[in-house]
Chain A
Amino acid sequence: MDTPIIIKNLTKKFGDVVAVNNVSVIIEPGSFLTLLGPSGCGKTTLLRCISGLEDPDDGEIIIGDKLVYSHSKGISLPSGQRDLGLVFQNYALWPHMTVYKNITFALEIQKLSKQDMDLRVKESLKEVQMSGYEDRYPREMSGGQQQRIALARMLAYRPKVFLMDEPLSNLDARLRMDMRTELKRLHHISGATTVYVTHDQIEAMTMSSKIAVMKLGVIQQMDTPDTVYHYPANLFVADFIGNPKINLMPGWVSGQNVVDIGKFNIPVKTFNKTGDVVVGLRPEDIIIHKEPTDGAVEFAAYSVLPSGADTTIIARKGDTELTIKEIGVSKIQMDQPIWLSFKEDAINLYDKDTESLITA
């Protein structure tokens, strides 16, 4: 399918609150875009504006070759004419209809024949591995099953765009993992342009072809998961993405390839400005040495938190606290002195005033 979504200068206000603030995005055909951000950042509102459930206050939305919304032209197509499907957080299965009726609701509107409908129901249930559930009522199924049916309901009428509003957040952790696998697979097979809203960065990282991180109605960064993780565009994105959280240390540069943190220095590559900066360094990009090592800074292990596959170590030196991630089970004891060195390539520097990434 070949359906891009183009959003131009979209603004949506609720009273005095600007939920979506002049957002422009191009979503490439067949891509999987995740809108990621804390609650109240406008991600759901943006999705609902695309779906037509919310009427924006300004801007334009084009889906495929259809202009579905334009403030200046006074156009706003109803949801049903936008060729899209939406999966809701709480499934929104109609409780008074069986699975079959839930799925065929849209097909009846499309005036499909009975045979075609039966076929579509069969196919879509098979796609979500729920074959044979046609006669169940929603309340007779578990949350995970209901979510699969909600997916099947969307798949059955073959929309060109999939919209998903935190579809996995009502499921337990285990089921969520399974559904991530399925959703990614589904997108892979169908190739439908997908917009996915979540506040869960793991979902965003694992499934998306692109992530748009939002805050206060503005997209802070939109890029591949890899870029967003390794080169966060500003301090908000850096802080929001990653678990355990990124280490952010205020410091000072003075034209040399080194940041003065106070009690110690961190060497950085070619940097020749001066001023206040913030050093961003992921926990896995810090190396722990048990003996004094050249270029390493002495810290004390404040707390050691093993979790099986890896261990999180909180290290302190004066009032500087760093989080370090080590693969496997660490042998380090609490209060033991350790020496830390930093992977120079992984360090990001942010301008303290603008909070954005400094590129060389």
Chain B
Amino acid sequence: MAVVTKQAPSSHQDWNARLRRFFQWLSSPHVVLSLIMLAVMVYMVIVPLYRMFLTTFSVQEMDLRALPGAEVGDLTLYHWVRMLNSKISTIMTYEPLMHSLTISLGATFLALIIGGLMAWLVVRTDVPGKGIINALATIPYIMPSWTIAQAWIVMFKNQTSGGTPGLLEFLTHSPTPDWLAYGPVPIIVSSALHYYTFFFLFVSAALLSIDSSLEEAGELAGAGRWRIMRKITFPLVIPAIASGFIMTFSKTMGTFGGPNVLGVPVRYYTLSTMLRSNTGIGNYGDGFVLAIVLILFAMTTIMINQKLVGTRKSYETIGGRGFMAQKQKLRNFKGIITALVVVFQFFIAVLPLSLLIYSTFMLRTGDYSLSNFTLQHWIGKGVSNINSGEPGVLLNKKIYLAAWNSIRLSFLTAFFTALFGVILGYAIVKGRGTRLSKLVEQIAFIPYVIPGIAFGAVYISMFTRSVGPIPALYGTFALLVVVSVAKHIPYSARSGVSAMLQVGKELEEAAAIAGAGPWRRFKRIIFPLTSTGFVSGFLMTFITTMRELSLIILLVTPTTAVLASQTMRYIENGNEQQANAVIIILIVLVLLGNFLISRFRGGSLKKGLGL
């Protein structure tokens, strides 16, 4: 038996011990993984942000005419002054900012009302057909965000923007009012109809998790239904509402599709569309100022929200999973409310799709009669005066390329997102309580607060030249993968952490005691126990990436075009029917993906959102 006598360690020994302790720390798997992920995230998030920031302070090629004597790369305040304090700053910055805020707040509140009300109806009342309501409620979200906007155009457009009449105008023979055809109202409504799913899912999860004894206690104390609702139920679902608020607000701030379809034709610019038109002509300095303004606004709102509600973990369930509370009887209103819900869901899920499909069979826009029917947009040969001479979408090589790109992009993004999820989840959960783990978790959260289009903008300035071993990525397909994966990092981290937390730490410790090394522990214990969560996360990412537009719109090139960007191109070219046909193809692909999710055991949209 070794008897170790305490001896005064010489400084050499001491140094040796320190070195060994350091290497021991460095060789523990969660530290290695944390450091790897830190490097990856610095490269994918921090550096691009920094580069973008730098670009706004340096002279660009475009600016040489306005700044005589300056050289490209010189330090300058030119962009900031121009965008924030000059004659054009109102048009370039402040108006779009006001528009963005109007739309985001409007859409968020409308989505809250719709989603919250539907959640309450499904969870807390005896409304019939809950299964169908539940199923239909997620449909708008899995469709591309501008589907409803595009359907809106078909229904309500008027001749203001030099176009043809919409279905309403065609049927009533009276012009649709401008406020209903374009601008803030349609954008708010169509965005809210897309994003209310968040609130529906968050609030219904929260309502389900409230222990009914909390409400019963209120009832016993003599409180009426309304008081219980106001004083007990509502405060308990506030965290859920707050998470829905953060998500919806940050998404609508950065959304591009809707404002581009419904705003740009009447010069109603938001930050996102203004950003696009600046970067579109290579004016990066000014564009990035807008991107930074966008990021700052999204960030402050989220921060205020978190200050008010508490930590961002507050979306996690409140209290134990209680037994179901009494269902509110709808009594006489049952019929009416049911009818309303059915009609509403028809309007947001069935009608838009039908309108889009209908429009793809019209030879000329604006003429809704049967005599105008054609299959030209689907299977027609190229005719010079239709769709810029491109053949029908089913015969169009560009569409097949875009579809292939979409699938490829979605698959790769989903793969890397799941992989990062595993790594981040492990690194964060195993290192819980250490500063390294907190740092990883915080950096992983950053992309969450950066609106989609601004995140895309961040990547324009990056990767234009090769840096060390990293090749120049601008204009490549790889760049789209990088940006999509980076934007998904917060979701990776969240679903990874929740999957890891489900595996009790003792299970891994027992394996460590039994002599299993990190890789064997992962392969034999952790991975088998978390894989279902990751597979449903994989499929979820697959469909959200498939219909993502805001994020990549600034980065696609003709060869890397995906279906989503292709529809937007066609819309901008004025080829409405062709665009709608592509949207239909996109939706079919997304629905197929969604079908796969529902087939997969335990997978659902809810899980994919980390609920």
Contact = CB atoms under 8 A, between A and B. Distances in A.
Interface of A: 4, 8, 14-15, 51-53, 55, 60, 62, 64-67, 70-76, 78-81, 84-86, 88, 90, 92, 94-96, 105-106, 109-110, 153, 157
A86 B516 contact: no
A94 B525 contact: yes
26 contacts: A4-B1, A8-B6, A53-B512, A62-B4, A72-B17, A73-B13, A73-B17, A74-B18, A74-B20, A74-B21, A74-B24, A75-B20, A76-B21, A78-B512, A79-B513, A80-B513, A80-B514, A80-B515, A80-B517, A92-B510, A94-B507, A94-B529, A96-B528, A106-B516, A153-B514, A157-B515
Contacts of A88: 506, 509-510
A76 B21 CA distance: 8
B505 to A, nearest CB: 9
A106 B515 contact: yes
Given A65-B2, A67-B4, A74-B17, A105 B524 contact: yes
Interface string B497-526: 000000010110111111111001000110
Interface in B485-505: 504
Nearest to A102: B510
Contacts of B2: 62, 65-67
A153 B515 CA distance: 13
Closest 4 CB pairs of A and B: A74-B20, A80-B515, A74-B17, A106-B514
Nearest to B27: A78
A159 to B, nearest CB: 8
Contacts of A51: 513
B16 interface: yes
A92 B9 contact: no
Contacts of B507: 92, 94-95
B222 interface: no
B342 interface: no
Interface in B71-90: none
A94 B4 CA distance: 38
B506 A109 contact: no
B140 to A, nearest CB: 37
Contacts of A60: 4
A105 B509 contact: no
B592 to A, nearest CB: 30
A92 B504 contact: yes
A154 B585 CA distance: 57
A105 B511 contact: yes
Contacts of A92: 504, 506-507, 509-510
Contacts of B162: none
Nearest to B509: A53
Interface of B: 1-2, 4, 6, 9, 13-14, 16-21, 24, 433, 504, 506-507, 509-517, 520, 524-525, 528-529
Contacts of A79: 509, 512-513, 515
A78 B433 CA distance: 21
Contacts of B517: 78, 80
Contacts of A86: 509-510, 513
Nearest to B508: A92
B58 to A, nearest CB: 44
B32 to A, nearest CB: 14
Nearest to B14: A72
A219 B538 CA distance: 51
A190 B581 CA distance: 76
B157 to A, nearest CB: 56
Contacts of A106: 514-516
A3 B1 CA distance: 9
Contacts of B21: 71, 74, 76
A79 B524 CA distance: 17
Given A53-B509, A96-B528, A105 B4 contact: no
Nearest to B2: A65
B514 A105 contact: yes
Nearest to B512: A79
B513 A53 contact: yes
Contacts of A64: 1
Given A72-B17, A73-B17, A80-B515, A109 B510 contact: no
Contacts of A65: 1-2
Nearest to B15: A74
B236 to A, nearest CB: 30
Contact of A109 (B20, B433, B509, B520): B520
B19 A74 contact: yes
Nearest to B528: A96
A190 B512 CA distance: 23
B516 A80 contact: yes
Most buried by B among A67, A81, A90, A96: A96
B515 A81 contact: yes
A153 B510 CA distance: 10
A157 B4 contact: no
A80 B514 CA distance: 6
Nearest to B20: A74
A190 B14 CA distance: 40
Nearest to A77: B24
Given A73-B13, A80-B513, 16 more contacts: A65-B1, A66-B2, A71-B21, A74-B19, A74-B21, A80-B517, A85-B513, A86-B509, A88-B509, A90-B504, A94-B529, A95-B507, A105-B524, A106-B516, A109-B516, A157-B515
Contacts of B504: 90, 92
A56 B275 CA distance: 54
A120 B419 CA distance: 38
B431 to A, nearest CB: 13
A109 B514 contact: yes
Contacts of A53: 509, 512-513
Most buried by B among A8, A14, A62, A94: A94
A100 to B, nearest CB: 14
A14 B24 contact: no
Most buried by A among B4, B517, B525: B4
Contacts of A96: 528-529
Nearest to B16: A74
A105 B516 contact: yes
Contacts of B24: 55, 74, 76
Contacts of A15: 433
A147 B483 CA distance: 49
Contacts of A109: 514-516, 520
Contacts of A52: 512-513
Contacts of B17: 70-74
Nearest to A92: B506
A109 B507 CA distance: 16
Nearest to A70: B4
A290 B508 CA distance: 62
A84 B512 CA distance: 11
